[in-house]
Structure 1
């Protein structure tokens, strides 16, 4: 039997299943238990897993599949943190594809733990990150205004507002989940700023 812990979603909750050893040292897969995440992993990682599970559940209910890659990437990152915290391999079941993969501990600087027990994030590349965020913001503004302008001219202003609302709502789960992912968070910052700024233009176009 396998000695791997397993990270999966169950009833819209992140569940960590730990193998339990019998007295003879064998692992009995039927004797596994669902661990209380905060007790095993600490409150910080347990909260991150709970948040990831909520976003996965929201995406599952919409059925659009938008942002599935971000959800999968975030799940793999969290599985890596779980593996480091447990000191052993973790089988991660991707909620988007249903495929399983084994994630092994990788004690990189991103998962380093200081004495007070919280993960340390590497020093952010501010210059490069802000540049990426600026490009993302400009792209979102141009795309949103182009969409609103086309719909307002071809149909009506309220259609442009409705379309902008749908796009914003569709982006929200992915942006919320990606806000703590290295590199991706700069794109998230730009997309959030671009979405907020573009709404001013959308309202002007819709009511002009």
Structure 2
């Protein structure tokens, strides 16, 4: 309870306590002001950085989707190996090069499944470095892409209709099913990471 000083000594003590309390309150106010200023600056800086980072992520994501579409086209073209046609040395010329990224053109003009796959894997590795939450799905997907390579080497393709050919095609179907499963899982996770608020906070 506040007590009015009655003597000079009490008055001096009261003034001293008031000054001491005032200095402490001043220090607390200064500290709160500094912390508040830092927080405000960090928040504004964070959102600016987050916006820039998100734009970069979306650009890489769109390029990855374009590369994925072209890789799927190449995969369908290379499936002609199961019709007895060689795909070695084949280059796609049925699509224009306008308004496409270098990686899409590289996949489009790949002369072998291996070179198309390598270009595509470079692209998905690049976007996944920005989105580390996709690492597990990426590893499975890359393994599945790589595992398909042996089926697209024409020299190793057994005669169509033979017992070896049936076995070979059966093994291919198992590998292709794994590819489709891991592809869908990776693309789903990738899309989720691109649109994830908490991913943006975490990465920023």
With the length of structure 1 as denominator, give the TM-score of the two structures. Answer: 0.27
Q: Which has the larger radius of gyration?
A: 2
The structure showing larger relative contact order (alpha-carbon pairs under 8 Å, at least 6 residues apart) is 2
TM-score, normalised relative to structure 2: 0.27
Q: Which has the higher strand share?
A: 1
